[in-house]
Amino acid sequence: MRSSKPRSRKNNRNRPQQNGGNIPNRVFDSSGPEGKVRGTPQQIIDKYQQLARDSQLSGDRVATENFSQHAEHYLRMLSAAQKEIDERREQQERENRERQAERDRERAERDAERAEREAAQAKEQPVVAEAVSGEGAQPDVIESAPAADSGLVETPESKPRRQRTPRKPRGPRKPVEGDATIDTPVVASPDAAE
């Protein structure tokens, strides 16, 4: 049983044409005076130019002009597509340069802000250091002093390792009631002798 809905076919004529997208690599079917020529635009151009040379050698001026016009058509199409590709590449490079310039500006601003913060911290820090140490300049060489005087905190890594003292050998085991391994004298009960 057939469906009552009519089938609709896609209308490719209304679709916007690709703007130079993949024309240099696209395969075309060209219907020329000698039949179909199939290939990329450059291959079709080469084929029509060869046919034009052959017809010129045979003395057919009309066929020569016809093949030349077919070759010229594909040559124009290829050059227009190449021009569009080049424009697109230039536009993309321009946008990339603008983005890179924007990133460089942002990086320079961040670096300037960081330098300002570090300068502000450097101005505050010497005042605090002078107040704590009581003198302006720090000594170049630190003299070794006991840990208690230096104000440093001892960590387990900084302490020298103590040598272990050997354990005391264990003495004889203390007897436990009900233990079968303990040697206890067997006492004969008075009832057992009778």
Residues 157-174: pLDDT tens digits? 777 777 778 887 777 777
- Pairwise CA distance, residues 34 & 48, whole Å: 10
Q: Is the pLDDT of residue 177 over 60?
A: yes
Q: Is the pLDDT of residue 16 over 50?
A: no
pLDDT score for 124: 78
Q: Is the pLDDT of residue 111 over 90?
A: yes
Q: Is the pLDDT of residue 183 over 50?
A: yes
Percent pLDDT > 90 in the chain is 35
- What is the average pLDDT value for the chain, to the nearest integer? 76
pLDDT score for 166: 81
pLDDT category at 54 given cuts 50, 70, 90 is: very high
pLDDT score for 46: 93
pTM of the model: 0.43
What is the identity of the amino acid at 130? Answer: E
Beta-sheet strands, E only, within 11-149: 28-32, 35-39
pLDDT digits (tens, 9 = 90+) for 116-136: 988 888 887 755 445 555 555
- Pairwise CA distance, residues 34 & 39, whole Å: 15
Provide CB contacts within 8 A for 192, sequence distance 6+: none
Domains of the chain, by residue range, sit at 20-122
Q: Is the pLDDT of residue 87 over 80?
A: yes
- Pairwise CA distance, residues 46 & 28, whole Å: 13
Provide CB contacts within 8 A for 74, sequence distance 6+: 28, 30, 41, 44, 45, 48
